[in-house]
Amino acid sequence: MNNALAHDKKHIIIVTVAIMAIAMVASLVFKPHVRAANDNTAVASYKTWKEVPVKGSEKVKPIEVKSFLENIWHSTGIYKIIHTETPEEAAKAKLEAEIVEAEKEAQAKAAEEELLAHPVEGWKSVIMILIGFIIVYLAVAKGFEPLLLIPIGFGTILVNIPGAGMGSAPDGMLHIIYSAGVGNEFFPMLIFMGIGAMTDFGPLIANPKMALLGGAAQLGVFATLFGVAVLNLIPGIDYTMLQASAISIIGGADGPTSIYVSAKLAPEMMAVIAVAAYSYMALVPMIQPPIMKLLTTKKERLIKMKQLRVVSKTEKTLFPMMLLVLTVLLLPPAAPLIGMLAFGNFVKQCGVVERLSKTMENELMNIVSILLSLGVGSQMTPEKIMNPNSLGIIILGLVAFSIATAGGLIMAKIMNLFLKDKINPLIGSAGVSAVPMAARVANKVGMAEDPTNFLLMHAMGPNVSGVIGTAVAAGVFIATYGH
């Protein structure tokens, strides 16, 4: 029994460390170099073929390899445990927090004054209302994430009705919803708790190597940073590094994480980022199959994988706790997301609070999804959507999601060069965070080649590891640029 338990713990540790390590290393390898001047008129610059000014990045510190590693180390739980904060450091941190809060209030006030000075033309509101109806149509008629896009569409319609005041501060219903749980990341946390209660990590624990596929799919997240730098070369498009970090999470096809990161780093772009993330999640069955067929041969698509071993209840119960401990020690900025994921999953697996598990999976998840989507829709206003930057986000999202899909496929092909028991590369496409849709698509494409080749459970391994990987990537961005 002791040997079996030790074996279980070994698999759990391998899985969690692999996912977190891959995501953190990828953030170091694939990030673009950013420089910020320190004078009063400073602007950040992306070092691509030449330096391109990026307005609004005056507060972004230079990020080089040494400073990046130091920043990550200082943000770990281990450092915070062994390091005693001096009164000077505490005072400095408090002052910085007060400055950030004052800046947010000043920006909000400036935006309100700008809106009052230049009210939105009626025709723009009409266009946004039409966009809301289109979103609803796509959700109902085409089946694109209806549980999320229907309330987002209605939120878009309601907030843009002239004179209705649905999104007006302080009493507008949609403004209250947004302030209560979207702008402060409360609803995304509850969504992650529900996802944890709905997720079975068994396939990942049974085959820890699948964590590599989930990590490789994060290539789409970090490659997006380069895409942002390229788009900044286009006149009229101007992203800051903080906005680039928020946009890049779209590459993981993870709606709640996209909202969480944008709320912390780029709240002004939350609406279009959220809609793009959820839209590409809904379009997984259309976007992924052509890429999967392009990057694999028929012989590879016909590979049959061995049946997964049975995962014990002990392993499933220990996994979320080990994941949480590692997050606390290595990357606390990711703890809000991974912590709620682990909490929901532990409630599901421990088996002693079935009522709580069912509530998280069903009633609570449904209620929060409605409120979160309405809150996102409330941000779909002309001044936030009808500009070149928003169009660039839509383009970047598609490219990022495609690269993420390709990253998982290519990693599976590379792994097959060294493995005796070959992996069907199709399951690498499930490394994105769209659970369980991406796994179902991989299974469907595989069965199209051979109706007896069931890949669903194998694909769930990289699929759930992608959820963790994207959360870790989000934590790295917040740890690097969040202060």
Terminal-residue alpha carbon distance, the chain? 47
Q: Quick one: tokens of 33? A: 């170099």
Phi-psi region of 214 (alpha: psi -120 to 50; beta: other; left: phi over 0): alpha
**For residues 252 and 404, is the Cβ–Cβ distance under 8 A?**
yes
In this predicted structure, what is the pLDDT of residue 33?
A: 39
pLDDT in tens, 184-211: 889 989 999 999 999 999 999 999 999 9
Q: Which domain holds residue 434?
A: 2-30+161-481
Cα dist. 115→252, 262, 427 in Å? 34, 22, 48
* Domain contains 51: no
Q: Closest Cα to residue 147, out of 367, 345, 341?
A: 367
How are the residues of the chain apportioned to helix, strand and coil, as percentages rounded to the nearest 5? 75, 0, 25
Pairwise CA distance, residues 344 & 325, whole Å: 15
Angle at 179 between CA 57 and CA 370, to 5 degrees: 115
pLDDT in tens, 307-355: 899 999 999 999 999 999 999 888 888 889 999 999 999 999 998 999 9
Pairwise CA distance, residues 38 & 132, whole Å: 43
Amino acid at 343: F
In this predicted structure, what is the pLDDT of residue 26?
A: 45
Pairwise CA distance, residues 408 & 291, whole Å: 11
In this predicted structure, what is the pLDDT of residue 51?
A: 42
In this predicted structure, what is the pLDDT of residue 436?
A: 83
In this predicted structure, what is the pLDDT of residue 21?
A: 52
In this predicted structure, what is the pLDDT of residue 36?
A: 37
Determine the angle formed by the axes of helices 456-481 and 335-350, rounding to 10 degrees. 150
Give how many domains the chain has, as a whole number: 1
* Domain contains 280: yes
Sign of the dihedral defined by the CA atoms of residues 141, 143, 145, 146, in that order: positive
* Domain contains 477: yes
In this predicted structure, what is the pLDDT of residue 395?
A: 82
* Domain contains 71: no
Sign of the dihedral defined by the CA atoms of residues 350, 352, 356, 358, in that order: positive
In this predicted structure, what is the pLDDT of residue 64?
A: 60
Residue 38 CB: number of other CB atoms within 10 A?
8
* Domain contains 218: yes
**For residues 254 and 277, is the Cβ–Cβ distance under 8 A?**
yes
* Domain contains 216: yes
Amino acid at 450: D
Beta strands in 199-262 (DSSP E): none
**For residues 361 and 197, is the Cβ–Cβ distance under 8 A?**
yes
Pairwise CA distance, residues 430 & 68, whole Å: 30
Q: List 35's β-bridge partners, or say none.
A: 45
Pairwise CA distance, residues 425 & 409, whole Å: 5
Pairwise CA distance, residues 18 & 169, whole Å: 45
Q: Closest Cα to residue 262, out of 404, 344, 154, 372?
A: 372
Q: Quick one: tokens of 65? A: 């390899």
Each residue's pLDDT, cut to its tens digit, for the chain (483 residues) gives 555 545 555 555 554 555 455 544 444 444 443 333 333 333 333 333 334 344 445 455 555 667 667 777 777 888 878 877 777 777 777 777 677 667 666 666 665 665 555 565 678 889 999 999 998 998 899 877 788 889 989 999 999 998 888 988 788 999 999 889 887 889 989 999 999 999 999 999 999 999 999 888 888 888 887 887 788 888 878 888 888 888 888 877 788 888 889 888 888 788 788 878 877 777 788 889 999 999 999 999 999 998 899 999 999 999 999 999 999 888 888 889 999 999 999 999 998 999 999 999 999 999 999 999 999 888 888 888 877 888 788 888 888 888 999 999 999 999 999 998 899 999 999 988 888 889 999 999 999 999 999 999 999 999 999 999 888 888 888 877 765
Residue 450 CB: number of other CB atoms within 10 A?
14
**For residues 208 and 15, is the Cβ–Cβ distance under 8 A?**
yes
**For residues 201 and 351, is the Cβ–Cβ distance under 8 A?**
no
Pairwise CA distance, residues 3 & 292, whole Å: 40
In this predicted structure, what is the pLDDT of residue 55?
A: 46
Q: Quick one: tokens of 18? A: 């692999």
